[in-house]
Structure 1
Amino acid sequence: MKIRTQYTFWRRLLSKLVNLETISKNILNLTLISFTLILFYTGNLQIAIAHDAHGRRGWVAQPVQTHYFDHITLFSQGRITRFTQMPIRVYISPILKESPYLPEIRYAMQEWHTASEGNIRFEETEAPRNADIRVSWGHSGLHADFQDMRLGSAELTRLKDTKQIVAQDPADASPPFTVEVILMLEGDGTIGELSQKEMRTVCLHEFGHAIGLWGHSPHPSDISYPTATVQHPSARDITTLRKLYNTPLNTPQHDIAIKVLTSEIEAKPYAEKRKRLRHHYLLGTVYFDEGNTEAAIGSFLTCQALDAKFQPAIEKLIQVYHETGKTHDAIALLEKRITQKPSPADYNTLGIFFYERKEAEKAIQAFEKALHIAPYHKAARRNLHQLLRAKGFKALAAKDFETATTTFKRVIRMDPLDAPTYQLMGNGYAQVGQFETAINYYQKAIDINPVDALTKHHLAECYNNYGVALRNRGEWDAAIEAYRNALLLMPTLGVARTNLGDAFTRKAKAHNEAGELDEAANAYLELKKLYPNELHIRNLLGELYLKKGDYAEALSAFQHVYNITPNAAHALHNLIAAYHHYARSLSDTEEYITAIQLLQKALRLAPTDLNLRLSLANAYQGAGDYERATIEVSRVLAQEPENPQAKEEEINLRIRRGNALMGQRQYAAAIAEFEGIPESKRNTEIYNTLGYLYLVEGEHQKALAGFETVLQKDPINMPAFRNLLSLESQLIRHHFDRIKRDTLTKVRCALALTLIKRKQTNAAIEKYQSALKSKSEEMNPLLIETGKQLANWFQQYGNTENRERVLRWVEERSSR
């Protein structure tokens, strides 16, 4: 079911032009003045026309009835209208709070609370916007004939349409209306100051309407009787109230209301005009809410026939025509009324209709005419602003900045200190990415109204978006400044803080990739100031310090993270890496003692880390502590026997120990170290060293074997060649020893081959001739083979003379 009141009509109409200020809760409005046109302004154009919720005395009493439930929707458009949430919040105006009638108002609330057995509860509030019922003082005016009672009145104003009954828990539903109660502290000249009894009756009666009894009882003993005098709700009032609150909100009773009103009309065809107007008008509102627009129009036209100037019916007709798509007829009614009596309100409404029909120029003209009559008519002025702003925004969307600026200036000329327009101009330019221009307009708005929190919020967001644009262009410093400006305006703007952090991060990354490590570190330090407790920033700093080689700072950063999150795997990993890198850098600069200390600390954190132990072994070696180095390598091999690095370190350890022993002239011990190196792992340097040690120790054959092994791997190896010459010299001194003479022959053969490969032809021939002096037959195979190799080499290089010469020597040796 749908209740369509003039308020709802106008509100829907205006929402197309302006942004209505919404109220968080739907409330009930009870006003004193019946069927009164209420024009009010809430920051945008808003017009509401409310109708009287009260009937007049004259219904036929039915004493046998125990309730008057059929009468309680006559003034609520034929549907149940009651509160569904408790307590009902009541605002009492300051004038009434200071009046002697405050106890009577509270008396009425208590009486209804008691009558409902505590189900209806009231709570006073100091905030009218949050109230469900607002109670204020008033006086009779132009529409006195349509008041509820001579001493008070109530008016229902609906804030939204709900065509269907809302299928939800009534306890969770908010009433789609407000109620306003207006009390007469003084009469219309026929009475003086109200007595306590009179005021109690008035308050009880009006609060009865407020809680949902939207009609009058035909029984004089009921508080809902039009001219009631009782001081307490009757049994019939209570029974009706109970039945009401057992009926869901918005339950339709159109047929019942239509039947009652039709009966009244038919029973009193010659009643006074005022009553007939009331009945036909109420009948029209019920038809309209039911959706029977033709019958509604008929009822309102009947009102016009009775009184052509009856404005509530005219307003309803305008509403019905508009909502049924007959805007042309609505405009015609408005223009006719304007012709009779121009008013800024009608011109304003006419402008809205033209705007809906997309006739913007006619709308502007209508609003301007409204302002011509009433230059300070807020609604028309605001609507004209809105149209001009819309034009400006449209130009901005099309990036027609010249038209946009001209249009906005026209709005500003209407009010040079119009800070909201400057703000909207800022909004418009910001939406099309013209952030610098937008910032300028926002700043002008703030200059006019420095305490405008909304504009500051928009300016902060604009600075943030400007920062994003700058960041996307890689202008890090400018972006950072924009984000900082946003945070100065609005420190709680989380997105700006996030973007500022992102800008610092991107800046640091860009510098890092460009190799500008100091600049990258500075950016991370700024990021750390922004988020001092963010551990990932310290991790980033630590990683950058590692890359820079600033291992002490890296260690400090990772140590901080580890101290806070000791159970985090990545924290331990990074800390160990910092210890390791730092220790290795110290080893490289021969600061072995400090390196050893760092590695020992790291191993206390990760005792099974083999790489740390290998580095510790290396540091011990550098410090000359071979015993501890050996222990560390052994620990690694015990844990992982095939660890290639440990095996390599074991070899290095033997080499270092061997070299150290050799330096101490402990040649036999040195030989033992080098012989401990597997042959597969020995290189030419090791073989040379071993050969040298054998030579020193007089083990000539082993020395020769070592040097030959080197020359097989590297035929022109200079150290091996020189060592062979030294071996030759030493053997010459022992020519009386046959074994040494044979060894000397072997050495000379090896030298001959080495010299020929070094392309020292003559020296090779001379060395071979020296070898041929050997008289040992055991040496013949070696001498013959050496000669053949020399001959082949000469043949390869085309040295025929030397080839033939060597072959003769080979033949001579073979013939022995």
Structure 2
Amino acid sequence: MPHHPRSRNLRRTLLSRAAVCIGLWALVAHMSGAADGDYLSRCTLYSDGRVTRLTAMPARVRLGPMPSGVASERYDEAFREAARLWSEATDGVVRCVFVAAGEPEASVDIPVRWVTKLSTFSTENRLAHTTLARPTPDTFRVSMQMGLYNRQSGKRLTYDEMLTAALHELGHAFGLWGHSDDGDDVMAAASEARRPTARDVATLRRLYDLPPNAPMHAESLVAIQAQLADRPNNGNLHFLLGSILLDSGDPDAAIRALLEAAELDPEHPGVADKLILAYLAAGRTGEAVARMERLGESGPEFYNNAGKALADQGETAQAIAAFENALRIKPDFGMARRNLARVYAREGAGRAEAQDYAGAEAALREATRLAPEETSYGIQLAVALNRLGRDAEAAEVYETVLARDATLAEVRSNLAKTYSNLAVGRIAANDWEGALADIDRALSHDPELAAAAANRKAAMWNWAVSTQETDPARSLSLFQAYLEIAPSAEAHASIGAIYMKHRDYARAADAFRAGAALDESPSSLADLAAAHHQHGVQMHRAGRYGDAVEQLEQAADATPNNVDLYRSLGVAHRAAGHAEEAVAAFREALRREPGLEWAVEEIAKVSMVAGNEALRKRDYPAALAHFEAIPAARRDAQIHGVIGFLYLETGDVAKSVDNLGLALLASPDDPTSRQNLDYCLKEIKKIRRDDDSPVWGHVLQRLEAFRLASVIARKGRKVDVTRFEELLLGAADDRTTVEAILAAASAIVASIEPQLPDAAGRIAAAAAARAPRPPREEDTVEPRIEGSSPP
């Protein structure tokens, strides 16, 4: 048999305009002489030569209500018994479960209606009939009508007659679409069997051993040819032959058979449509279209089937026209509407693949308009809109799809990405609020979408930065919200900067501290110190010196090398009456940066004030401590005199001598220091009565040196100069004594040089000889650690 190269692809979409109706005739004769085995080939010739059976058991059967005013006569019971007999005979190969009358059509395999008059084949004496229809290429639908009257006698069927009819119609519904050639079988055209025969069972078993849709063209053709040999002028047999040939992939032979059928039976309900489909399968589109036009508006089903065939041939424009004709005739023709939508969807997919996204959009919009329930069309349309950069429209389409089916994970993912992309555009346009709204939508659909999370941070950050000057309150709230999703030292720093600008230094410090905890960089610590510093200054100005000290100490802890902080801290301590702490702060600044004049000056001021206050209270030890804190560079004759006096009052005569002597060197005419020094001389003499330590001799040498320097400065007598020269040469080698005598020598040289230059020169030379020398390099010795071993 010839095989047309395009016909195989068409097989699944060529559907007859008329459904196949097969039923049980009232018994008119008993058939005999049938063949052994099975009669499956006589069944498949009614289903295009293919196995057409149920794919799941048990079959779900829904028995409808009896017509109004008609008694049941146990017909339901007869039908259920028929189902039981089939299940029993086949050992459960086929079996039924009966569902409630209100069960939805989509979940029912075999819907049964009780009727007083069959809706088709009115000239035939049928008791019932079962219809096979194919709504899509790969699915079929069964429906059954059970007549309640014998049309020849006009009498109600008996229980046994209904049992026979139910057995026969269930056989059709299970997949035995033809009739047995043995009158004893349940599936004989006119049967009175009360249970399935062995041949019925063998046929059904063989049917269910084959996969659904399995081709049986060869056997079906043999069976149909045998029947044609007996009835060559039967138009329906020629129609069935053409249908089998078309499905087997021989459209040219199918055309010849169908033309014969049309000639024999011009009124056959399926020939015209099937013939057009055969022409399309053979690639003879012009003849198919011509026949369609001749048929005119003969039926929307025809246009629907022709449109599917044209679409399968790639004749998109003609397919669209055919489907539109079907819908023009029957606007509520759902199948044609869905098929037209498929054509547009296929067109849209092709254009999208060719990157013609504008064309794809136009086609897919038509597809979604025609079949809004088909979510795949909406998905394709949204993707095309994405490609066109029209993300807002794409998002609307995705939302519509999800409203129909919220379980579509891929759609949620695409929608999330679309909203994230929209946010990017809004960020670029500085529409921060809109960007964040889109990002929230994105994350509501895909909480794990990294791009959306990153865009949220970018939008929130940029919005916060952009409003720092114009709307600091909003900026602050945005930075705080940013921290909830992304810990950031920089965000904390920005928050701190806003608080600093508004002089809320406490909150600023908290923010900077949090930032430093994340990134202890020099800049973060400097910010923290600045906040505490300003807070401390604020507290100082408010008279809250203790709080000021606390803040300034924290500032210094944050940046210990910032000497200015110690100045503020010392001033705060001074204001709080903490002289020692103030001096300690100034000294710390001086330690970290030697030579700071302000630090020296501050120490002197604080110590002077505190020392005088202690003197006023006659707290001489405290006064001495304060005056001793005054740096040497800031001690004048008066301060040395006071220190000398305080040492005298506290019983340290030696240090009293040293300080009183320095007072005299600075101010030779100071009578108080001379008097106090004379008092020291008396005290030393008393001490030496009980203490012959050479130390006191050294102290006396220092005292004498200071006294002689004062006398020489005041009187300039040579005898005093000579006495000092002798003292200088004979002075002890005690370091303190040598330093004191050298200081006196320096003062004497300065005072007598104009009048006694020779004497001044001798004293200077002698002083230089007594001055300590730095150790020579060859005199240095490497330190040695006890107990260590040489390397």
The TM-score, its normalising length taken from structure 1, stands at 0.52
Using the alignment, how far apart are the partners of 2:282 and 2:431 within structure 1? 57
Using the alignment, how far apart are the partners of 2:174 and 2:550 within structure 1? 96
**Is 2:126 aligned against 1:150?**
yes
Letter aligned with residue 136 of structure 1:
R
Using the alignment, how far apart are the partners of 1:88 and 1:381 within structure 2? 30
The corresponding residue for 1:182 is 145
Once the two structures are superposed, the pairs formed by residues 42-61 of structure 1 within 5 Å of their partners are 49-52=18-21, 61=32
Shift of 1:205: 0.5
Letter aligned with residue 135 of structure 1:
V
Aligned mate of 1:478, from 431, 434, 439: 434
The corresponding residue for 2:62 is 91
Once the two structures are superposed, the pairs formed by residues 538-553 of structure 1 within 5 Å of their partners are 548=496
Using the alignment, how far apart are the partners of 2:30 and 2:249 within structure 1? 27
Identity %: 22
Q: Secondary structure at the match of 1:86?
A: coil
Q: Secondary structure at the match of 1:776?
A: helix
**Is 2:76 aligned against 1:102?**
yes
C-alpha RMSD of the superposition: 7.1
Change (3 A) 1:104 1:434: same
Aligned mate of 2:108, from 131, 135, 159: 131
Using the alignment, how far apart are the partners of 2:580 and 2:338 within structure 1? 106
Change (3 A) 1:285 1:536: farther
CA contact (8 A) 1:87 1:121 kept: yes
Change (3 A) 1:782 1:587: closer
Using the alignment, how far apart are the partners of 1:435 and 1:180 within structure 2? 47
Once the two structures are superposed, the pairs formed by residues 312-331 of structure 1 within 5 Å of their partners are 312-331=270-289
**Is 2:492 aligned against 1:509?**
no
Deviation string 1:328-374 (CA, Å, 9 cap, x unpaired) is 23212222333xx7555556666777777888877777677667767
CA contact (8 A) 1:51 1:312 kept: no
Deviation string 1:760-804 (CA, Å, 9 cap, x unpaired) is xxxxxxxxxx9x9775136999899999x9xxxxxxxxxxxxxx9
The corresponding residue for 1:566 is none
Aligned mate of 2:164, from 201, 211, 216: 201
Change (3 A) 1:102 1:506: farther
Deviation string 1:192-248 (CA, Å, 9 cap, x unpaired) is 433322222111101112112233222222211111112222233233333433444
The TM-score, its normalising length taken from structure 2, stands at 0.53
Letter aligned with residue 776 of structure 1:
L
Using the alignment, how far apart are the partners of 2:703 and 2:313 within structure 1? 121
The corresponding residue for 2:445 is 494
Using the alignment, how far apart are the partners of 2:212 and 2:384 within structure 1? 47
Aligned mate of 1:80, from 51, 59, 62: 51
**Is 2:176 aligned against 1:213?**
yes
Letter aligned with residue 306 of structure 1:
L
Using the alignment, how far apart are the partners of 1:238 and 1:554 within structure 2? 91
CA contact (8 A) 1:546 1:554 kept: no
The corresponding residue for 2:614 is none
Using the alignment, how far apart are the partners of 1:346 and 1:309 within structure 2? 15
CA contact (8 A) 2:395 2:415 kept: no
Once the two structures are superposed, the pairs formed by residues 656-695 of structure 1 within 5 Å of their partners are none
CA contact (8 A) 2:281 2:309 kept: no
Change (3 A) 1:9 1:124: farther
**Is 2:92 aligned against 1:118?**
yes
Using the alignment, how far apart are the partners of 1:254 and 1:360 within structure 2? 30
The corresponding residue for 1:254 is 217
Bigger shift: residues 537-546 or 469-478: 537-546
Q: How many residue pairs are counted as aligned between the two chains?
A: 589
Shift of 1:428: 11
CA contact (8 A) 1:345 1:370 kept: yes
The corresponding residue for 1:763 is none
Q: Secondary structure at the match of 1:151?
A: strand
Once the two structures are superposed, the pairs formed by residues 219-230 of structure 1 within 5 Å of their partners are 219-230=182-193
Using the alignment, how far apart are the partners of 1:746 and 1:73 within structure 2? 143
Bigger shift: residues 544-553 or 299-308: 544-553
Shift of 1:73: 2.6
Change (3 A) 1:381 1:54: closer
Once the two structures are superposed, the pairs formed by residues 189-588 of structure 1 within 5 Å of their partners are 191-266=154-229, 268=230, 271=231, 273=233, 276-338=234-296, 343=299, 468=423, 469-470=425-426, 473-479=429-435, 494-495=445-446, 506-513=458-465, 516=468, 518-519=473-474, 522=477, 548=496
Using the alignment, how far apart are the partners of 1:720 and 1:515 within structure 2? 56
CA contact (8 A) 1:53 1:215 kept: yes
CA contact (8 A) 1:223 1:231 kept: yes
Change (3 A) 1:112 1:461: same
Letter aligned with residue 283 of structure 1:
L
Q: Return 5+ residue gaps in structure 1 as ranges.
A: 14-34, 38-48, 163-175, 415-419, 446-451, 528-534, 558-569, 575-580, 591-618, 624-643, 647-651, 708-717, 748-769, 790-803
Change (3 A) 1:111 1:497: same
Letter aligned with residue 92 of structure 2:
G
Using the alignment, how far apart are the partners of 2:61 and 2:221 within structure 1? 32
Aligned mate of 1:65, from 36, 40, 57: 36
Using the alignment, how far apart are the partners of 2:30 and 2:217 within structure 1? 19
Deviation string 1:285-309 (CA, Å, 9 cap, x unpaired) is 3333333334333332332332344
CA contact (8 A) 1:784 1:814 kept: no
Structure of greater Rg: 2
Q: Secondary structure at the match of 2:20?
A: coil
CA contact (8 A) 1:81 1:212 kept: yes
Using the alignment, how far apart are the partners of 1:738 and 1:195 within structure 2? 156
Letter aligned with residue 196 of structure 2:
P
Shift of 1:151: 1.5
Shift of 1:501: 8.4
Change (3 A) 1:554 1:201: farther
Using the alignment, how far apart are the partners of 2:327 and 2:209 within structure 1? 50
Shift of 1:118: 3.5
Q: Secondary structure at the match of 1:78?
A: coil
Using the alignment, how far apart are the partners of 2:390 and 2:111 within structure 1? 47
Change (3 A) 1:127 1:76: same
Shift of 1:75: 2.3
Change (3 A) 1:687 1:285: same
Q: Secondary structure at the match of 1:256?
A: helix
Using the alignment, how far apart are the partners of 2:42 and 2:52 within structure 1? 12
CA contact (8 A) 2:38 2:203 kept: yes
Change (3 A) 1:285 1:541: farther
Change (3 A) 1:518 1:210: same
Using the alignment, how far apart are the partners of 2:437 and 2:266 within structure 1? 68
Using the alignment, how far apart are the partners of 1:776 and 1:54 within structure 2? 151
Using the alignment, how far apart are the partners of 2:313 and 2:41 within structure 1? 42
CA contact (8 A) 1:521 1:541 kept: no
Q: Secondary structure at the match of 2:131?
A: strand
Q: Secondary structure at the match of 2:111?
A: strand
Change (3 A) 1:385 1:81: closer
CA contact (8 A) 2:506 2:532 kept: no
The corresponding residue for 2:660 is 730
Using the alignment, how far apart are the partners of 2:579 and 2:210 within structure 1? 115
